[in-house]
Structure formats: structure tokens, C-alpha cells
Chains A and B, each alone.
Chain A
Amino acid sequence: MTNVLEVSNVSKSFGGVIANHSISLDVEKGKITGLIGPNGSGKTTLFNSIVGYHPIDEGSIKFRGQELKNLNVQKIARLGLLRTFQQTRTYGKMNCMQNMLISVSHRNANFFDMFTSYPAELNEKAEHLLEFVGLYQKRKLPSGELSFGQQKLLEFAMALMNEPEVLLLDEPTAGINPTLINGLIDRLQRANSEFGITLFVIEHNMRVVMNLADKIYCLAHGEMLASGVPSDIQNDQRVIDAYLGAH
């Protein structure tokens, strides 16, 4: 029951707008944690703060006990904390295999590793992961030519290739055809159970997040509103009000 990620009283504002105000939460190792909240509640800002995309105004973010708030994105990624993007981002001109290979972890890369070639095992691993997400047949196509849903799957596979300890997923099912969502949820669960990756997921799709998450945090207006197991959150009147807009 250890917390791999500890966010304490994190605040971030942009100009006059307070995006996050004194947010605290814990992500438990090996579990799936959900982050919900109406639009504009500050979820993506919080993700950005955690991965070091911008400096925070106040508070502390600890990953395995190590303070992250002064580190930049690359360093944090190399520690094993990755994120996927809301508007899926892949390397559009490179083909899927290349996207996968470059996603191999750079944690222990020294200067001269830049000039080596990729061994056969990594090629095989990339192929297996592409198969895992169902993209094996498209592996030689430039990723920019895949459909939106396929790119999302590729981005997910790239993250798995990196073998992160914690993966922050920003709306993984957004824009996905409803018939394909079950397949994606299944893969997320397997990533958690088989590969042991801790997941921290922003989601708008209630069905998805209630089935997937072990624990859920709810943000509203930049502040932490409620937290608990899915059944508690579903019945929490404050959460319902936040989504339906009662004042």
C-alpha cells in the first residue's frame, strides 16, 4: 500500500486565472486511479504540473519520494513517469515501428548509446506491442496516416514500450468509436495487471472510469472536491452537482 505519486497542496495559476488551488492527492502503486471533473476544472493543468511541463506556484509533487517540482519534462520522463496527450501526439512522418523504437526508455542512455543500432529484441518487442494494440499490419505506415483512434492506440503502445512505472493518461477514450472502447479498456487493464504499470487516468466517460479505477478523485473549479472508491463518488451529491451545474 505505497503511494508512488504524492501531490501536496499544489497550486498553479496563469495570469489571473487560478487553474489549480491547493490540490492534494495520492496515487497508489500498482493500482488504477481516476481523475474526473467537469470541463475547466483543472485536470490537464494538474497533469502538466506533475510531468513538469510548467513550474508550479506552490506545493510539492513527490514520485517515489523524490521531489519533482524543480525537474523538467525530460528528467521526469526518464525517472519513469510518462503521460499521453489529450490531442494524441505521435511522430507523424515516421512509421509505427520507428515510433515504437524511439520510445524505448532513455533512462540509462549514456552519450555513446546514441550511436548504436537497435538490437533484434527491441524490434521484436515493438512488434509484439503493436500486435497487442492491434496495429501490427500498419507498422510500416507513417503514423500520420493512421486514423485518430489508431494513433491513440499507437501512442499507448509507445508508452508501454518505454516501460514506465506510472503512466498518466489524458482522456484515453475521447474520440474513440464506442464499439472500440471496450477493447481499449481491456488493454488498459492488462497493462496494469500484466505489465504492472500504475495508471492515473483523466476521463470524462463515467462508465469507463467507474469500471476501471480503484480510486477516483474529483476536481471542480480548480479544487479537490471529493475522493473515494467509485461507488462512493457515484453517489456523492457534490460530484453530481458539479457536473450538472447546480450552484
Chain B
Amino acid sequence: MIDNISLLTLAPILNVQLILDGLFIGAIFALAAYGLALVWGVMNVKNLAQGEFVIMGGYFAWYMGSLGIHPIFALPVAVIVMFGFGWIVYVVIISRVVGKDMFTSLLATFGLAIVIQQALNLAFGPEVQIAESGFGTGSFFDGNVTIAYIKLVSFAICCLLAILVVLFMKKSRMGQAIRATSQDARAAKVMGIDTEKVYAFTYGLNAAICGAAGVMISMIWVIQPFYGVPHSIRSFVIVVAAGLGNLPGVIAAALGLGVAEQYGGFVFGAELQQATVVGLLLVVLIWRQLQMRRQRQAVQ
């Protein structure tokens, strides 16, 4: 491990590689985290199936790739199908637990996560998969930094999607309805907003965002039926660190997390990259507790 750290100082160009890779993947984390924050902020549901939605999106890309269609075309497919899927899940399951205490909704979504994980495992097998984009790789800085072009494409798509979603929330009728409902559901209802429809839409939108994130994850990284839990944890870490309703914070935390994971994997070894995510979760939660303790409150 010490050797790896000294390697970073001896060859500074390595840092560039790690940081770039971290930013590219962090952008995708930001999307998923935003979706989680959306559902959390609007209906106070902490969606523990978030990562599974991402992996589902990834399998769209991989499956279409295996049929000979370029995985990038999975993006609109995943978005639309996942939106519908999210809507249905809301109506069947989430709508019945929205009002109840928070462990209830957490456990319901965790149950959903298990169903999805195992269904994906049955359908596609436990192998780790990638959706090949065939875009090639570029070499920079005398070959010391390599960037797969798909990563640049993915980053651009993430920015585009983020802008689209933000515009939607600001300008469209539904976006405004969502924001109104998240601030005061009862008032929104009184003003004639169909809050059930808003909730269903929000949950569907979250699923769609995750689906899109998943398509890109499958192209620039890997997917596997049981890799959903770490994604859920990542989103959770980002939202807790940044705070709800803090979009720039979410982006910054997500990019930071991406970079931290790259460094963690490099310094501690690939097996411990997952441990970095969970470790950061515990750090964030402890930090939050210390913060709240100064106000003599608990984290709730």
C-alpha cells in the first residue's frame, strides 16, 4: 500500500488518470444520487432499490448490445421503460407505504431490491457484464493517461441529462407541481394538484434517471445482478453528505466520491474498492452525528 502511495508522488501523471476516471464515473453517480434525493425530498421515501434500478438500466444496454444494436440506443429505451416500471412500482407498492414510518418504506424498497437482484440473476446469470461501445481509446500525455472515448461521451450525456432534468423541474407544469408537493403536500392537494400522480411521476422519473445512469455504467464500467447495493449506498452517501435540495452539493459530492473510489482502489487494491464506499458511508454518518450533536439533535 505504501508503494502505491509513493507511486502517486513519483509519477504525478497517475493522479491525472485517477482524477479523470473518478470524474467520469462520478458524473454518473451524481445522476443516481439526484434521483434518490428527488424521491426522498418529495415523498420522504429512502429508496433502497436505487442501485437495482441502475443495474436494470445497464442490462438494457448489454442485452441490446448482445442483439447487435449499439448500446447507446438503449438510452431512450431504458428511460422510457424504467419510467413505466417506476410508475407501476409506485402504484403497487410505494403508494401503500408512503404515509407510514420510514423503516417501513425502507424495508419495502429493500424487498424490492432483493426481487430485482434475483430476477436479474435468473434472467442473465451471475457473470459480470460490459456493454461494448467500440468507441476506442485515446492516449494523452505520452501515453501515460488513457481515456476511453465512451467515457467522454458518457460525461457529456450526464451533463445533458442533468440540464434537461433541472430545466424540466423549473419550467414544466409537472416540475412545478413536484416542487410544490415536496414543500407542502397538503397545501398542494388543496390547490388542486393530484399528489398521487405527482408521486408516481416522481418515482417513475427517478427510475428513468437511474436507467439512464445504468446504461452508461454498463458502457464505461461493469454490471452484475448483485452490484446494485453498492450503487444504492453511493447515492445515499452523496445525498447525506450534500444534504437534500442542494444540487451543486450533490454534484460536488458525487464527483468527489468517484475520485475517492479511484484513489481507494489504487492505494488499497481493487478488492477494497467496495470497502471504500462503505467506509465513506460510515464516515459520512459519523460526521453527521457529530454535527447534529452540537445542536443536541439526533440524525433523523
Give the interface of A toward B (CB within 8 A): 52-55, 72-73
Which of B294, B295, B296, B297 lies at the interface centre, i.e. has the most chain A CB atoms within 10 A of its CB?
A: B296
Within 266-298 of B, Cβ neighbours of A (below 8 Å) are at 294-297
A-B contact pairs, 5 of them (CB 8 A): A53-B296, A54-B297, A55-B294, A55-B295, A72-B296
Number of interface residues of B (CB under 8 A): 4
A42 to B84, CA, bound (A): 49
Set of chain B residues within 8 Å of A54, measured between Cβ atoms: 295-297
Set of chain B residues within 8 Å of A73, measured between Cβ atoms: 296
Set of chain A residues within 8 Å of B294, measured between Cβ atoms: 55
Set of chain B residues within 8 Å of A53, measured between Cβ atoms: 296
Set of chain A residues within 8 Å of B297, measured between Cβ atoms: 54
Set of chain B residues within 8 Å of A52, measured between Cβ atoms: 296
Q: Which residue of chain A is the closest to B295 with respect to CB atoms?
A: A54
Q: Report A66 CB to chain B, min CB distance, Å.
A: 18
Q: Report B66 CB to chain A, min CB distance, Å.
A: 53
Q: Report A238 CB to chain B, min CB distance, Å.
A: 34
Determine the main DSSP class of B at the interface with A: loop
A73 to B293, CA, bound (A): 12
Q: Report B246 CB to chain A, min CB distance, Å.
A: 15
Set of chain B residues within 8 Å of A55, measured between Cβ atoms: 294-296
Q: Report A20 CB to chain B, min CB distance, Å.
A: 16
Q: Which residue of chain A is the closest to B293 with respect to CB atoms?
A: A72
8 A-B pairs closest in CB distance: A54-B296, A72-B296, A54-B295, A55-B296, A53-B296, A52-B296, A55-B295, A73-B296
Set of chain A residues within 8 Å of B296, measured between Cβ atoms: 52-55, 72-73
Q: Report A24 CB to chain B, min CB distance, Å.
A: 23
Q: Report A159 CB to chain B, min CB distance, Å.
A: 21
A73 to B298, CA, bound (A): 12
A126 to B133, CA, bound (A): 73
Q: Report A44 CB to chain B, min CB distance, Å.
A: 16
Q: Which residue of chain A is the closest to B294 with respect to CB atoms?
A: A55
Q: Report A171 CB to chain B, min CB distance, Å.
A: 23
A73 to B296, CA, bound (A): 9
A55 to B294, CA, bound (A): 8
Q: Report A15 CB to chain B, min CB distance, Å.
A: 12
Q: Report B72 CB to chain A, min CB distance, Å.
A: 46
Q: Which residue of chain B is the closest to A55 with respect to CB atoms?
A: B296
Q: Other than A54-B296, A55-B296, A72-B296, give 6 A-B pairs with Cβ distance below 8 A.
A: A52-B296, A53-B296, A54-B295, A55-B294, A55-B295, A73-B296
Set of chain A residues within 8 Å of B295, measured between Cβ atoms: 54-55
Q: Report B297 CB to chain A, min CB distance, Å.
A: 8
Q: Which residue of chain B is the closest to A52 with respect to CB atoms?
A: B296
A52 to B297, CA, bound (A): 11
Q: Report B299 CB to chain A, min CB distance, Å.
A: 15
A73 to B297, CA, bound (A): 10
Q: Report B257 CB to chain A, min CB distance, Å.
A: 28
Q: Report B100 CB to chain A, min CB distance, Å.
A: 15
Q: Report B295 CB to chain A, min CB distance, Å.
A: 6
Q: Report B104 CB to chain A, min CB distance, Å.
A: 15
Q: Which residue of chain B is the closest to A72 with respect to CB atoms?
A: B296
Q: Report A54 CB to chain B, min CB distance, Å.
A: 6
Proximity bits, B151-163, A CB within 8 Å = 1, else 0: 0000000000000
Q: Report B249 CB to chain A, min CB distance, Å.
A: 17
A146 to B297, CA, bound (A): 29
A55 to B297, CA, bound (A): 10
A24 to B265, CA, bound (A): 58
A72 to B294, CA, bound (A): 11
Q: Report B23 CB to chain A, min CB distance, Å.
A: 33
A54 to B295, CA, bound (A): 6
A37 to B296, CA, bound (A): 27
Q: Which residue of chain A is the closest to B297 with respect to CB atoms?
A: A54
Q: Report A56 CB to chain B, min CB distance, Å.
A: 11
Q: Report A77 CB to chain B, min CB distance, Å.
A: 13
Q: Which residue of chain B is the closest to A48 with respect to CB atoms?
A: B296
A22 to B297, CA, bound (A): 24
A72 to B297, CA, bound (A): 10
A53 to B296, CA, bound (A): 7
Q: Report A214 CB to chain B, min CB distance, Å.
A: 32
Q: Report B13 CB to chain A, min CB distance, Å.
A: 46
Q: Report B18 CB to chain A, min CB distance, Å.
A: 39
Proximity bits, B135-176, A CB within 8 Å = 1, else 0: 000000000000000000000000000000000000000000
Q: Report A49 CB to chain B, min CB distance, Å.
A: 11
Q: Report A92 CB to chain B, min CB distance, Å.
A: 12
A52 to B296, CA, bound (A): 8
Q: Which residue of chain B is the closest to A53 with respect to CB atoms?
A: B296
A4 to B296, CA, bound (A): 24
Set of chain B residues within 8 Å of A72, measured between Cβ atoms: 296
A52 to B295, CA, bound (A): 10
A52 to B293, CA, bound (A): 12
A170 to B296, CA, bound (A): 20
Q: Report A55 CB to chain B, min CB distance, Å.
A: 6
Q: Report B183 CB to chain A, min CB distance, Å.
A: 17
